[in-house]
Amino acid sequence: MKKTLMILLALVLSLGTFVSATAQKKDMKVFISVDMEGVSGVIHWEDVSRTGKDYELFRKLMTLETNATIEGALEMGATYILVRDAHGSGRNILPDLLHSKADLIRDWSSGPLEMMEGIDETFDAVILIGYHARANTPNAVLDHTMTGAFYNVTLNGKPMPEAGINAFIAGNFGVPVVMIAGDEAICQQCLELFGKVVTAPVKQGVGNAARMLHPQKAQELIKKKTKEALTKLKEYKPFKLNPPYTIEITYKNEERAEKASWIPGAKRSGNTSVSFTSDDWMEILRFFLFTM
């Protein structure tokens, strides 16, 4: 009898090991969109411009913050990681310094997915690194929304930072944004929009200045928060809005609004504003692409 019990116990333990190993082998795909204004140390437009004298330093720090994210994701069992260089030229992350376990998308395809190029329904999570607050946010570092021509962008009446627009794209593929790193202002805006999201604030705006974490500490925080975010993926929900979708863009000058109003389906909604409504979220993105 004792021998039989020992054999049964061994079988149960073996089965448990097999189930555990099978669970660990489940594919986990992570999409990382990386901007630059929210990277620790960045404070001025020169820092993020290819002509800025310190640009090479900050593109390196951008790459290292991306690597911290990748390392955290790999430690949590990620089996595929795609990085989208989503700043300016789309050619900022240093390919030779980027972690070898990640694929990288560089430059722009001219398609409507923009900063989320490469996302699809097969991914399990989206992580946003180096992000910044929407235009006209107080105590925010280099706040803007896509282009300096925009004063404000709303989706179904909700003011949108770039993180919100990109979460909307991911949400329509059924993929949640689980973590964001940037300044405190964008972290707070994402909490308000998404409800549940892990944040990694690496700096705090002080007027036009900012209080920064040391880059190494920022990278450690990002890795820690990435692991935290990927621990319980089922707790996060894709960011979705109910159709019909209405996007409204307020420009800084009337001329741009007049030009955008000639896009088929667009309507002038104010002195410097234009809106567009559709039940098709991809039509919203196409309209948005041509307004920039």
Q: How far is CA 103 from the centre of its chain?
A: 16
Q: Do 185 and 133 form a contact (C-beta atoms < 8 A)?
A: yes
For 271, other C-beta atoms within 10 Å of its C-beta total 10
Tokens of 272: 């410097």
Q: How far is CA 82 from the centre of its chain?
A: 12
The answer to whether the peptide bond before residue 244 is cis (omega within 30 degrees of 0) is: yes
Question: Could you confirm whether 87 is annotated as catalytic?
Answer: no
What's the CA gap between 69 and 5, in Å, rounded?
46
Q: Which of 44, 87, 144, 214 is catalytic?
A: 144
What's the CA gap between 61 and 96, in Å, rounded?
14
Residue whose C-alpha is closest to residue 178's, from 131, 210, 119, 225: 225
Residue whose C-alpha is closest to residue 72's, from 120, 125, 117: 125
Q: Is 77 exposed, middle or buried (0-12, 13-18, 19+ CB in 10 A)?
A: middle
Q: CA dist 88 to 36, 45, 141, 222, 248, Å?
A: 9, 11, 16, 22, 23
Q: Do 245 and 279 form a contact (C-beta atoms < 8 A)?
A: yes
φ, ψ of residue 162 to 5 degrees: the values are -60, -35
What's the CA gap between 164 and 183, in Å, rounded?
15
| Catalytic residue IDs | 144
